[in-house]
Structure 1
């Protein structure tokens, strides 16, 4: 049986040490490494060793009893949440490590939310029970209060496959059939174990265990429990289906795609179709990784994690074959920064390097700004920028720096409008009419088509729709990405002789821009969903801070002198609050921040003024249409374009 197990935690909860113990006990490694000794098997990258944190989601393989385990050690720092979420999407089960001293921390909340979003069954391991101040019973109570009342301690209640009375009663309360049997004092060990496994897989019970990874206490016992309580079912005889969850480049520059197979079998030299364009390429190599090392194999089967060479254009998130394409990310960057480098280094060289990094981490969204002649990237935070500086120096051999991170704003519209674009210089012809409507918050940029085939051929209609989706579009307030807008192709016109190549592209972009010129435009800013826990006497300051940051909050809840406050707040006003918060609470408070989409900007006029975007000087867009008369093209500004259109 193949099982993919993810290990997740807040930074410094002991996640990597825990993973090392599992690998040691299953004889996958000969010696146990430690993060503080810089010899952990899974934190193999020099940057991870120097910083003492997990940055890259590395995997290891081990066998235990009748199962093969694929273990993923994920980053624990919030700046690398994107890497963590991509790994979550291929996990069968997750183990959340929680410190018995510190309890649930900010990033633990993020981990839990993402696992719930992707419906991954969860085990908890309360670690560091050997430390002074450890209180595993209190932490279990916190898990039951904050996450789920269905968390249950199996440390002494499920040993050598045997359930004690309290566990049997706990399971019976969650299964009507078992409850009836329990009341009749009937206990079939096999049936109860199967139901226990099923309830865990359905996220209806969350087993918890306690121990110390550093002292190797409770680890082997937990491994036995994990093995008995996890089951997977993969169909090896069905059509091959997989998802690409990670991309790396080897020392020869080859793109190596890491996959999780959900069904079927893949063999070397098989052809795979992937991507929206349906590209088809042959698999030249299949690799089984264990840490940095790998072995080549002739085939991979359902349930396995493996890597392949041969897919030159593949991207992270691509679904291959019999696999649903439903991997929308919940973790998105909220900041952007400019890449700074010495003028002696070629811009093309730097851009090529960052495009490689972009393939490995699509959340970077590397962008070459033609107008300002600079490279921009999107990031989660300062630590990520510091790591990127080291990565570029090590991999590509030249130093870089980054400009001060800026908030990643977006734009939308409040009112529905018609947009008109006409492109008719001599011997060219295209006209496009678009209806632009505001979409629901978080819906992104959507397209629709109500154009009749009598007006435009199906081929030309598809061409216009393709141009609408081929890149992110700029708004007119700050030049930020357009979102939460639905663009519908209403009608258009081409010419049998004079319409060519990019004519519809020109007309489409002009129609989009002309519509935006008429619309009531709005600036959006990224928001955090926050959860703050402090002592009751500190609540007043927190509420004051939230109000000053233009945030909103729900009614605070107080339990045993601890107050929990939840709400929303702009990233711009709260992105540095964690440092201030830790200082005045002396590290005793808890602050969890999770990206919560975009909403109306609290200081729109100030941001627009500060950014100083000139909509008339944007090299990618113009709202002016071009018409032709007497063999010469002439311009018609956006506010006069509608009257000049041919399709009206």
Structure 2
């Protein structure tokens, strides 16, 4: 069986060292590296070795009995969590590493929530039990409280003919048939293992193991459990489907990393992207930076292919399914600063290549100002990005101060009208625009009759609404949470040409925004703060000062837990402040919690100083034609001038 297992953790929990041990004990590598020696097998990038952290999700390949495992070591730092999320999407199982000293930390909770959203069966490994201050019992209790009551500590290794009595009892408490067998002493080990495996798959059991990866304690015992407690089923007979989860470049050659979901893939197989067809020219099976080539791969395997230049991360090859959006999105943007010899457009192409590898960068090119902007998770990501640009492309790049990514929406319902009719062109679009539920994004409904506008042109209007981000009127930020309904439109049998409906659609959208009540949105965090009771007053005051809200505090004899929502803009640097006044003993978890009304709209609008009349990409005016000449009609007069009212 093919099994993909990811290893995840808060930074410095010992994740990479744990991976080294697994690969060593399965003879996948001959020697074990160490993070502090800068020679680990999976952290093979020079930047990772220099910084001592995992930045890129890399995979190893190992065998246990008849099973072939792909082991994915993921980044533990929050700035690189989109890379982690993309890896989670292709995991069959996950292992969360938790320090026996620090316990559940901020990023651990983010990892846990993501795994639950993607329904990935999960194991825990409590690491560093040899260190002073280690408290396995306390950490298990914390996991059961913070993560799931179904966390099950396994101290004694299970085997085909032995399951400890307390494990059998734990299982019997959760299944009536097992309970009957347990009470009559007829519950055998094989039945227990099958039921535990089923519970794990259904996310009703989360086995927890203990050890010390650096000292090689508990590793062999953990490895012996994997074949017993994991199981995968893939259909090799169906047509091939595979999810693209990573793009890399070997020199100038593009490598597309895929998880095969169904069927079998052969070299020379074709895939169609729109009007283009591309062929797989090589298949590689990677183990760290090393690889072997093969002629085919089957469902369940992780591999890389050459020959596909159009496949994007998130695409499901061989399927017409729309890719599922990612949960983790950047809330900051930064301006690229470059004064070298290369033309800025050449630098832009480098950033486009990096964007293919890291889609969350969302590279934005401002033609008017000849500027490049990138979306980022945090300042550490910018530092690493600068190092990558220097080492890979010999570009010396700096970045401006990161700024919040704002969005805009509407609070009222309007109908937007757009008409585009310069000489020998013609298109008209009427769009009903309504506020969507917050966080829904932009959606489309078609209420246009085919007698008014051909189905092809209707689809064209929908395509233009979603082919790019559209600027709002307040700050020029992207608009979101709008429900567009195509009411009607008109084409000319002779004069409508390609691009006419793009112009009319954009003008209708912009004309609608001119009529609507516009709202500025900003990103929010869902926070969780844990610290000594002594700090409850300081914590509550800081949240109020940051324009946040909090739920009722949860108090124990020694500790307070505070949860709530707060704007990213006021809280993005709070981790440092919190660590300082709690002497590093507090715990903070910050998770992106969508966009909501901006707490200081007037200040932000004044600061950005966006001039809606001077945006070269947008106009709310419509173009009409009379006596062979085109003329402009401003947005406030456009409705009366429309042809299909």
1:429-487 deviation per Cα after TM superposition (whole angstroms, max 9, x unaligned): 11111111111111111122111111111121111111111101111100001100111
Q: Matches of residues 149-298 of structure 1 in structure 2 within 5 Å?
A: 149-156=149-156, 158=158, 162-251=162-251, 253-274=252-273, 277=274, 279-298=276-295
Please point out which of 626, 636, 640 is paired with 1:643.
640
In structure 2, relative to structure 1, the CA distance for the partners of 1:323 and 1:16 (3 Å cut) is: farther
Aligned-pair CA distance for 1:178: 1.0
The answer to whether the Cα contact below 8 Å between 2:95 and 2:122 also exists between their aligned partners in 1 is: yes
| Matches of 1:361 and 1:501, distance apart in 2 | 32
| Matches of 1:544 and 1:527, distance apart in 2 | 18
Aligned-pair CA distance for 1:162: 2.1
The answer to whether the Cα contact below 8 Å between 2:157 and 2:221 also exists between their aligned partners in 1 is: no
In structure 2, relative to structure 1, the CA distance for the partners of 1:317 and 1:553 (3 Å cut) is: same
Aligned-pair CA distance for 1:161: 5.8
| Matches of 1:449 and 1:278, distance apart in 2 | 25
Moved over 3 A (4+): 157-161, 322-326
The answer to whether the Cα contact below 8 Å between 1:420 and 1:511 also exists between their aligned partners in 2 is: yes
Aligned-pair CA distance for 1:279: 4.5
Aligned-pair CA distance for 1:324: 5.3
| Matches of 1:314 and 1:3, distance apart in 2 | 24
* Structure 2 equivalent of residue 609 of structure 1: 606
The answer to whether the Cα contact below 8 Å between 2:422 and 2:624 also exists between their aligned partners in 1 is: yes
Q: Secondary structure at the match of 1:481?
A: coil
In structure 2, relative to structure 1, the CA distance for the partners of 1:614 and 1:299 (3 Å cut) is: same
In structure 2, relative to structure 1, the CA distance for the partners of 1:558 and 1:278 (3 Å cut) is: farther
Q: What value does the CA root-mean-square deviation take over the aligned residues? A: 1.2
| Structure 2: 5+ residue stretches without partners | none
| Matches of 2:91 and 2:494, distance apart in 1 | 55
In structure 2, relative to structure 1, the CA distance for the partners of 1:325 and 1:162 (3 Å cut) is: farther
- Say if 2:309 is the partner of 1:331: no
In structure 2, relative to structure 1, the CA distance for the partners of 1:92 and 1:189 (3 Å cut) is: same
Pick which of 254-263 and 518-527 moved more: 254-263
| Matches of 2:332 and 2:564, distance apart in 1 | 21
| Matches of 2:161 and 2:430, distance apart in 1 | 68
Q: Secondary structure at the match of 1:431?
A: strand
| Matches of 1:50 and 1:8, distance apart in 2 | 21
* Structure 2 equivalent of residue 126 of structure 1: 126
1:177-204 deviation per Cα after TM superposition (whole angstroms, max 9, x unaligned): 2112212221122222111100011110
| Matches of 2:161 and 2:540, distance apart in 1 | 49
Q: Secondary structure at the match of 2:97?
A: strand
| Matches of 1:404 and 1:447, distance apart in 2 | 36
| Matches of 2:268 and 2:491, distance apart in 1 | 45
* Structure 1 equivalent of residue 116 of structure 2: 116
Aligned-pair CA distance for 1:544: 0.7
| Matches of 2:142 and 2:557, distance apart in 1 | 12
Q: Secondary structure at the match of 2:255?
A: strand
Q: Secondary structure at the match of 2:35?
A: coil
* Structure 1 equivalent of residue 97 of structure 2: 97
Q: Secondary structure at the match of 1:482?
A: coil
| Matches of 1:206 and 1:496, distance apart in 2 | 64
| Matches of 1:262 and 1:30, distance apart in 2 | 31
Aligned-pair CA distance for 1:74: 0.1
Q: Matches of residues 414-433 of structure 1 in structure 2 within 5 Å?
A: 414-433=411-430
- Say if 2:366 is the partner of 1:353: no
In structure 2, relative to structure 1, the CA distance for the partners of 1:288 and 1:102 (3 Å cut) is: same
| Matches of 1:158 and 1:593, distance apart in 2 | 37
1:128-170 deviation per Cα after TM superposition (whole angstroms, max 9, x unaligned): 0111111111111100111011101102263676211111111
| Matches of 2:20 and 2:624, distance apart in 1 | 69
| Matches of 1:243 and 1:278, distance apart in 2 | 20
The answer to whether the Cα contact below 8 Å between 2:161 and 2:189 also exists between their aligned partners in 1 is: no
| Structure 1: 5+ residue stretches without partners | none
| Matches of 2:198 and 2:177, distance apart in 1 | 13
Please point out which of 474, 477, 486 is paired with 2:474.
477
Please point out which of 555, 578, 585 is paired with 2:575.
578
- Say if 2:359 is the partner of 1:389: no
TM-score computed with the length of structure 1 as normaliser:
0.98
Q: Secondary structure at the match of 2:132?
A: coil
* Structure 1 equivalent of residue 530 of structure 2: 533
| Matches of 1:124 and 1:323, distance apart in 2 | 36
* Structure 2 equivalent of residue 66 of structure 1: 66
The answer to whether the Cα contact below 8 Å between 2:159 and 2:228 also exists between their aligned partners in 1 is: no
Q: Secondary structure at the match of 2:37?
A: coil
Pick which of 97-106 and 232-241 moved more: 232-241
| Matches of 1:337 and 1:287, distance apart in 2 | 36
Aligned-pair CA distance for 1:272: 2.3
| Matches of 1:170 and 1:81, distance apart in 2 | 34
The answer to whether the Cα contact below 8 Å between 1:286 and 1:298 also exists between their aligned partners in 2 is: yes
In structure 2, relative to structure 1, the CA distance for the partners of 1:219 and 1:325 (3 Å cut) is: farther
Aligned-pair CA distance for 1:41: 0.3
Q: Matches of residues 416-455 of structure 1 in structure 2 within 5 Å?
A: 416-455=413-452
In structure 2, relative to structure 1, the CA distance for the partners of 1:209 and 1:600 (3 Å cut) is: same
Q: Secondary structure at the match of 2:451?
A: coil
| Matches of 2:95 and 2:72, distance apart in 1 | 10
Pick which of 533-542 and 14-23 moved more: 533-542
In structure 2, relative to structure 1, the CA distance for the partners of 1:323 and 1:72 (3 Å cut) is: farther
Please point out which of 366, 370, 376 is paired with 1:369.
366
Aligned-pair CA distance for 1:209: 0.7
TM-score computed with the length of structure 2 as normaliser:
0.98
Q: Secondary structure at the match of 1:30?
A: coil
Aligned-pair CA distance for 1:325: 4.3
The answer to whether the Cα contact below 8 Å between 1:527 and 1:569 also exists between their aligned partners in 2 is: yes
* Structure 2 equivalent of residue 497 of structure 1: 494
* Count of residue pairs brought into register by the alignment: 645
In structure 2, relative to structure 1, the CA distance for the partners of 1:216 and 1:278 (3 Å cut) is: farther
In structure 2, relative to structure 1, the CA distance for the partners of 1:121 and 1:573 (3 Å cut) is: same
| Matches of 2:320 and 2:14, distance apart in 1 | 34
Q: Secondary structure at the match of 1:162?
A: coil
The answer to whether the Cα contact below 8 Å between 1:59 and 1:71 also exists between their aligned partners in 2 is: yes
Aligned-pair CA distance for 1:495: 1.1
Aligned-pair CA distance for 1:559: 2.7
